[in-house]
Structure 1
């Protein structure tokens, strides 16, 4: 009895301690960020200029060769960008598309443009072909800046963009990009003096700052509008949560075109006088040695990245680094404890959010597997709700009264967020495409006239208010840290002259997070498998290319429903096991540089980890 009472008392004290920690931390966060309001005159460049003025001589970036770029130099380059925009005739509200890899100038470009009210559209530098031309077109950009190293990828989209936009090449690559102008020379010809703030004085925080891309649930990438309210919040919230200071150094191996890396990670350092260690690519074999050499103290991750680090051979630097906090999302429960044990990082700050979404969660106490927490006492202060979801119909369930049904603890449902236009955290600014915006808004959810943003994610929450990610809704699947739209991939496959029908879906591969792409095809006479591979590799980014190809023997009618929708359920169930599939199945073998027939032996090698995909 006494032991039971002692355990009960300890449990009560733990609960009280947890609630006190969350309430005080959230109060600190909200107190620091309360000045971010839609009608505020403080914009994103104001935040960064204030940091520049306070830390002018300090290091803002370390580049690939560990050269240090000061805040003053960073600002001077951004000022040249701003003055170039003015000299070019760009007006506030105009858009410049940016197609560039990870480098410190990337941040300076969009920062500089924002100084004069011009929006940067941050293109995914892994896309090419149709997806690239589409991204530029939907952004409504008048100019496109192309990094010299991406000239070959840009060439796959050049024909579709020819004559529609002014192209600027960096690093002296104008000779490699037909019709382009010398961007570096243009910058050298303008002043590095800070432009007068009057050029953006008419803008408010609710106005657009950037355009970033999301694949959403269907179709080609959509351009999501990121208002200054959203940018200001992302640039500061994680630094506040991690108690960032000017001596911190953020290891940045995530792509800067993503909000996670380009705003959340960058801001956690720059908003507080710290430095960003910019790397072009992630290297599991070099990561820890790099962290030690550069004296990194913070690290931005996605879950797959941590999985790769755990899978790599142990390195002595794993315990010699000075990283005190890892911030990111997607760290799966099976990897979490192994990553903490291997790395020795004392705090994992897992979060949930989407570039264009209005739902955000923070796991402040590093509870393994949780993507965030809403303390029961503060439930009304948050906009997130979980509602019952019909997987077959792919829509929330409504009761007899026509309203959505809230989930009980432990019940899986779609996460939705109440849209509150007067709250910077809970606004939804939508996409360039109005129809796409409408599809993301749910109305009449709990009352007449209410409006909620659909995240497209399935989650569950426990009684303590911890939230857990379950899966993406619909056809979109995650592979290599990216959302892949099956419609987009099917559209590219359908462009091949001998592909009659393409049915794309995701399949699970043991040892890999998310799902790999698989395409079931019906083809015509004269079909050449390797010609298809060349087409796929030209038009699709690496993460979007199907890993497996299945060639159906039947007619298209056999694989569509009565309403002419593609049948996917049975295909997903059969997966990629050649012993269960009568049709021939092929595997995209990177080493062979070809599609090779998938055998039971190859499948076993992939499943066991002997063969990497």
Structure 2
């Protein structure tokens, strides 16, 4: 294309922008010509010139559409607050509207529940636990793999105001005990598949904690005092229980997130948070009640439970639950259950692309892939190969107040904020120090906003009077305070710190860059470096252990790497791997080990991770002993140049 044609094209766009804005002034604002033309000129001078008009033309439809979604959800939130509704009450209306429609299908057994059956099961749960003396404000821990009963259990407890602590089913030993303890759980409901894990922690549990197990089969050994819940529920009444004195801003349940303080933190999820997160996704991505969603994500996470199951409870959508993701059976399941929406994390999309071609992968009815973490490098390939019309990428931690949504299928983006009226949704990117990740402030003491193209930490202003902008925090007040910064946008304000670095382009689209702080993401899970460091230090009886995430070409997230001070070369790798298997879930075990004489520290006795992270696991850069975890053999092998090459090429499975 010639310079002349490019210039002509730019001129035409400018004229179109002028015409659109002039029409807006005349029709919408009803200004006369004598008023509209001067207003157009003043608007042009004060708005950044031609660039603004181009931004206006490209984004006005997107911004207006999303603005209407925000207004709709905000209006519904205020109505539910005023009426003191809860998720349980809203579900009862959904169940009344679709009594015989399929609500949940569990792929593992093919078991299908209608909305009436889910309602009755949850009523039995509510009436049973109320009869056992559980009251509004009590907490019960739920520790089981995904299935229909999982949803019915926490929903039933919510019907009497009991808050459920959704414990990660991969946790063991200290981390499991910690999650039960910090939530002050009065009971634990666990799946029969978790019997062994519960046996390990039972001696350390308070004797007053009630234990209930659920599931088919006859376990070889049952915990002393534990009761089989399923037959007890069969005897429980199925009528609606008396509603608790709870409202929309009260607690619903807890979801555990990895924290910089070490062991998991219990994030508070109030009814309003559940509703707004689920509803913004539903309306923003233009879902429908007659959609069928395939949910293979864990139900102890917000993505699987709120974004996924929430569409069933609030909108009447059918959800297909699979206990665990399977790349080889993914499309087979979608065809079998006529799914129209699938959930993913970035890893899932890559695993699907790595599968050999199957005819079934083009025989489905899936129109939308919903999730987060899909890399731009495989975005188009994923859509083209599997015939997916829309990738519904979003961003938002369980507890954050600054969620984003890529509502118009913009490749690589996790969402956007308006450049025309950025203050409508009070979020932003602010500058941070590259090494320490501390906020950089200007002479006035307020944080410095990033310009388009400049990476910065995403923050969201906390507005206590606005349920959409509130930060509910964690059970631990200290952990809550660490996620709040003061004097961010203006003096005296407060904002939630996501700990994530994003970059925004000139149109307001956001792109994920990095996760800051002491956590990283691997195999779809957040890993706490502090927790892993503490575990390794105990196993090895060493003081200095540093854990950090390193990138591997072509793989989403970061693999865990541990730098261990071992001057005597005394580590027994086989014994170490065996102990790790007992103490940590697979995703939290270090993929790489680096043994060195001493770990460098700062003057304040903090480990210097930046240089270790930069050197990574390249044996040409690192002269210390290096090992990698062979997932097939379950042991650590020497990481030499040949092994490094296999890892870089993707030949070596990690």
Normalised by the length of structure 1, the TM-score is 0.95
Matches within 5 A, 1:223-372: 223-372=266-415
The residue number in structure 2 matching 1:544 is: 588
Once the two structures are superposed, the pairs formed by residues 195-594 of structure 1 within 5 Å of their partners are 195-197=241-243, 200=244, 202-523=245-566, 527-552=571-596, 554=597, 556=598, 559-594=600-635
Counterpart contact for 1:166–1:180, Cα < 8 Å: yes
Q: Is residue 2:128 matched to residue 1:92?
A: no
Aligned position for 2:12? 9
3-state secondary structure, aligned to 1:342 = helix
CA distance in 2, matches of 1:247, 1:346: 18
Give how far 1:10 is off: 5.5
Pairwise mapping of residues 69-218 of structure 1 onto structure 2 (< 5 A)? 69-161=113-205, 163=207, 165-171=209-215, 175-197=221-243, 200=244, 202-218=245-261
Pick which of 170-179 and 6-15 moved more. 6-15
SS in 2 for 1:437: helix
The 8 Å contact of residues 98 and 146 in structure 1, kept in 2 or not, is answered as yes
Unaligned runs of 5+ in 2: 18-53
Q: Report the alpha carbon displacement of residue 581 of structure 1 after superposing the two structures with TM.
A: 2.4
Question: How far apart are 1:237 and its partner, in Å?
Answer: 2.1
What secondary structure, in the 3-state scheme, does the structure 1 residue paired with 2:539 have? coil
Could you tell me how far apart the structure 2 residues matched to 1:6 and 1:580 are?
Answer: 50
After superposition, give the CA deviation of every residue in 1:519-551 in whole Å (9 maximum; x if it has no partner): 111246864221111111111111110011222
User: Do 1:244 and 1:269's aligned partners in 2 also have CA atoms closer than 8 Å?
Assistant: no
**Alpha-carbon distance in structure 1 between the residues aligned to 2:461 and 2:431:** 16
Q: Distance in 2 between matches of 1:527 and 1:372?
A: 46
Is 1:35–2:79 an aligned residue pair? no
**Secondary structure of 2:549's aligned partner:** strand
Runs of 4+ residues deviating >6 angstroms: none
Report the CA distance between 1:3 and its aligned residue. 6.5
**2:65 corresponds to 1:24:** yes
In structure 1, the residue corresponding to 2:432 is in which secondary structure?
Answer: strand
Distance in 2 of aligned mates of 1:311 and 1:380: 42
Tell me how far apart the structure 1 counterparts of residues 353 and 144 of structure 2 sit (CA, whole Å).
29
For 1:310-349, what per-residue CA distance to the aligned partner results, in whole angstroms no more than 9, with x for missing partners? 1211221222211111111111111211111112111111
**Partners of 2:74 and 2:468 within 8 A in 1:** no
CA distances 1:418-460 after superposition (whole Å, capped 9, x unpaired): 0011222211011100111111111122333211111111111
Partner Cα distance (1:541, 1:474) in 2: 21
CA contact (8 A) 1:142 1:165 kept: yes
Residue-by-residue CA offset, 1:378-420 (whole Å, 9 max, x unaligned): 3221021111101223210011221111111111111110001
* Range with bigger deviation, 288-297 or 16-25: 16-25
Q: Report if the CA contact (8 A) 2:630-2:653 is conserved.
A: no
Deviation at 1:33, TM superposition (A): 4.5
Contact persistence 1:156–1:539 (CA under 8 A): no
C-alpha displacement of 1:119: 0.4
Question: Would the aligned equivalents of 2:429 and 2:456 in 1 still touch at CA under 8 Å?
Answer: yes
* Secondary structure, counterpart of 1:233 in structure 2: helix
Pairwise CA distance, 1:603: 1.7
- Counterpart check, 1:53 vs 2:99: no
- Say whether the 8 Å CA contact 2:73–2:279 is kept in structure 1: no
Partner Cα separation in structure 2 for residue 187 and residue 347 of structure 1: 42
SS at match of 1:335: helix
Contiguous gaps of at least 5 residues in structure 1: none
For the residues of structure 2 that align with 1:224 and 1:119, how far apart are their CA atoms? Answer: 12
Deviations 1:106-163 (A, max 9, x none): 1111111111111011111111111111111111111111100122233333333253
Question: SS where residue 282 of structure 1 aligns?
Answer: coil
Matched length: 607
Bigger Cα Rg = 2
Provide Cα deviations, 1:67-103, integer angstroms capped at 9, x if missing partner.
3211111111111111122011111111000001110
Q: Deviation of residue 2 (structure 1)?
A: 6.2
Corresponding residue SS for 2:342: strand
Please give the root-mean-square deviation of Cα atoms over the aligned residues, in Å: 2.0
> What displacement does 1:270 show?
3.7
Q: What SS is found at the alignment partner of 1:250?
A: strand
Q: TM-score, normalised by structure 2?
A: 0.89
Q: 1:600 to 1:217 in 2, by over 3 A?
A: same
> How far apart in 2 are the matches of 1:449 and 1:40?
32
Contact in 1 for aligned 2:259/2:518 (Cα 8 Å): no
1:380/1:605 CA distance change after superposition, 3 Å: same
Aligned partners of 2:376 and 2:540: how far apart in 1?
A: 44
Distance 2:13 2:198 in 1: 61
Contact 1:249 1:276 in 2 (8 A): yes
Deviates more, 1:588-597 or 1:286-295: 588-597
Greater shift in the superposed pair: 219-228 or 233-242: 233-242
**Cα distance change on mapping 1:173 and 1:499 into 2, 3 Å:** farther
Structure 1 pair 306–282 and aligned structure 2 pair: CA distance change class (3 A): same
Superposed displacement of residue 29, structure 1 = 4.5
Distance 2:211 2:292 in 1: 34
**Whole-angstrom distance in 1 between the partners of 2:621 and 2:10:** 52
Residue deviations 1:333-371, cap 9 Å, x none? 112111111121111111111111111111110101111
Distance verdict in 2 for CA 1:296–1:592, change over 3 Å:
same
- Secondary structure at the aligned position of 1:442 is classed as strand
More off after superposition, 211-220 vs 89-98: 211-220
